[in-house]
Amino acid sequence: MRKSMKLNNLLDIFRKRTLARDLALRLAAVTTIILVLLGTAYYFVSVTQAERDLSQQAARRIEELADVLAIPVWNLDEASIEQVATVYLQAENVVGMRVLDDAGSIMYESLTDEQDTIVETRPIQYNEKQVGIAEIKISTREVTELRQNIMRLVFGIVVAVTLAILFVTAVLLQRFLGAPLSNLTKSLDTFAGGDYGQRLEPMVQEEFNVIATQFNAMADQIQARDQLLEQRVADRTKALAISAEVSRRLSTILNERQLVIEVVEQVRTA
């Protein structure tokens, strides 16, 4: 039951335009922007590094392949060329290969339907003479998957951290800001209801303590003024009562001498 009430109180913070809600949303917005910027930087750095590594890998592969194929291409040994190609096609990220002789005729070709590839081409040289061309295709699937994984990771982190900040900030603000404000509101309502003896206790937070001090000073002034007005009303009521009593007594006296004596006596006792 208490958990349900606390949850409802937290939800109320975001339903209404409150100081706690504004602070929580602004903090969450700033944090989200920072996380998105950091995530974007991490994305570009990671993807750029992965693309650079893949390009370097493709360059090493084609250099090795061109050296290994030099003698088979010079000898027009298609069987050896196929054996070498089979080995290289089993290497990581290699999805296609083509070998041409010096006339441009295809000596070996392995096709692929994959579109996202890096194509590297090198001349095949034997005794410092070009005898053919080697071409290799390297898949960029890993880089694509890396992009998607980073985007999912960044999105998940941003959502999780933003929700956590909203929740934690709402709880902390409800505890350290909502409670003092609630006490202040109750004291103001009590004071507005006519209880001029209502006072606020000193608070831990300096900002609220200043408000409490000013409220108590105002309450002291209002209470003193109220007591003065009550005293004046009491004095005026007493004076009116005496005047009425004197008038009543004097109205019953017919003898002039007795009237004068009674007036003097009433003035003296008043």
According to the model, what pLDDT value does residue 249 have?
63
Q: Which of 78, 63, 80 is nearest to 134 (CA)?
A: 63
According to the model, what pLDDT value does residue 171 have?
78
What tokens does 8 get?
A: 């409802």
According to the model, what pLDDT value does residue 190 have?
79
What separation in angstroms does the CA of 63 have from each of 84, 120, 194, 235, 262?
Answer: 14, 9, 94, 113, 137
Sequence-ordered list of residues with C-beta below 8 angstroms from that of 81, at least 6 positions apart, any chain: 69, 72, 73, 99, 107, 108
Backbone torsions φ then ψ of 245, nearest 5 degrees: -65, -40
| pLDDT lower than 70: segments of the chain | 1-20, 196, 245-270
pTM, entire model: 0.59
What tokens does 119 get?
A: 């194509």
According to the model, what pLDDT value does residue 231 have?
82
In sequence order, the β-bridge partners of residue 139 are: 117
According to the model, what pLDDT value does residue 44 have?
92
According to the model, what pLDDT value does residue 83 have?
92
According to the model, what pLDDT value does residue 1 have?
45
In sequence order, the β-bridge partners of residue 40 are: none
